[in-house]
Amino acid sequence: MTLCAVSWASAQEINCTVTINSDQIEGSNKQVYETMKSAIEEYMNQNRWTNMTFAEHEKIECSMMIIVKSVADNMYTCEMTLQSRRPVYGTTYTTPLLNFVDKNFNFTYQEYDRIEYQQNTFTTNLTAMLAYYCYLIIGHDLDSYQRLGGTPAFTACEEIVNACQSASMEQTEQKGWLAFDSNRNRYALINNLLDEAFKKYRNYYYEYHRLGLDEMSGNVTNGRARIAEGMPVLKEAYRARPATYVINTFLDAKADELVDIFKKGTAKEKKDVYELLIDIDPTRQTTYDRMNE
């Protein structure tokens, strides 16, 4: 069963720290979580996901927290939070690229199971989810440096989604992969990212980072203005499809950063950005109100 049609191989790209929280599971073998943590980190950090060469200091920094909700017959029902970031040129600041929560991170696992990547082959739901998130991390990182640069990585995600939709797995594990199960799952996110309708958004994602943040070390005013100038793209995408998941994921990562950027903006920038954000993301009004403090 095809997992990824993209033929990539070379140096490791990811440096991911994994935390597993098993506080909700009483009386269980806690050692299994240490074994699981080590296996997941090795899988994500030691596999070669692209044909690009990354120096050690260029590896994509990310973290994964897995909260175990229940365990029964080696089936782990979990929630996972994934965060990735990249440095901003000319500064010591790192900007968040992903702050993603997967509420259906469910998989079968036995202690000392090997978590092995086999290109073009579906093995387990855990290996598929981890591969999906590695490509998602890489895709966002590449999109932030080059217009639509993450397309090959996002295409790899799509191949994994397609394979998992037809794979033999437990019903609990299927959650997150199915097209009509939710408009906020792994399928929905990659569907948005590869949709022609959101190409403008992905171009803005590049402009936000390369022409906005990366320029701010040389000229804060110009960098901030560039970010403000492109923000109506977010509103256009939201208006076209109010259930759009990709805009939510952008704001999940960027809400606090936008507040920090525009706190020091001009009165017009502050007003325009605040009104736009309240319009498309009203649940975070308390956060955006800090822009006017």
Residue 11 confidence (pLDDT) above 60: no
Q: Is 224 helix (H, G, I), strand (E, B) or coil?
A: helix
pLDDT digits 0-9 by tens, 123-132: 899 999 999 9
Q: Which among 28-32, 236-240, 270-274 has the top mean pLDDT?
A: 270-274
pLDDT at 162 over 70: yes
3-state SS assignment for residue 20: strand
200 within 8 A of 188, measured Cβ to Cβ: no
Mean pLDDT of 256-271: 96
Alpha carbons 254 and 60: distance in angstroms, whole number: 18
Check pLDDT > 80 for residue 10. Answer: no
Residue range 25-33: mean pLDDT, rounded = 85
Tell me the domain boundaries of the chain.
Answer: 14-153, 198-292
Q: What pLDDT is attached to residue 62?
A: 98
How far apart CA 164 and CA 176 sit, in angstroms, is 10
Which pTM was predicted?
A: 0.94
Whether 283 shows a pLDDT value over 50: the answer reads: yes
Average pLDDT, integer, range 281-293: 95
Structure confidence at residue 281 as a pLDDT band (50, 70, 90): very high
| pLDDT at residue 96 in the model | 98
* CB-count burial class (<10 Å; 0-12, 13-18, 19+) for 46: exposed
Mean pLDDT score, 219-226: 97
What is the predicted pLDDT for the residue at 26?
85
Instruction: Look up residue 21 and give its two tokens.
Output: 């929280």
Q: How far apart are CA 190 and CA 183, in angstroms?
A: 11
Name residues whose C-beta falls within 8 Å of residue 84's C-beta, 6 or more positions apart in sequence: 60, 61, 62, 63, 96, 97, 98, 137, 140, 141
Q: What digits encode the pLDDT tens for the residues 97-107?
A: 999 999 999 99
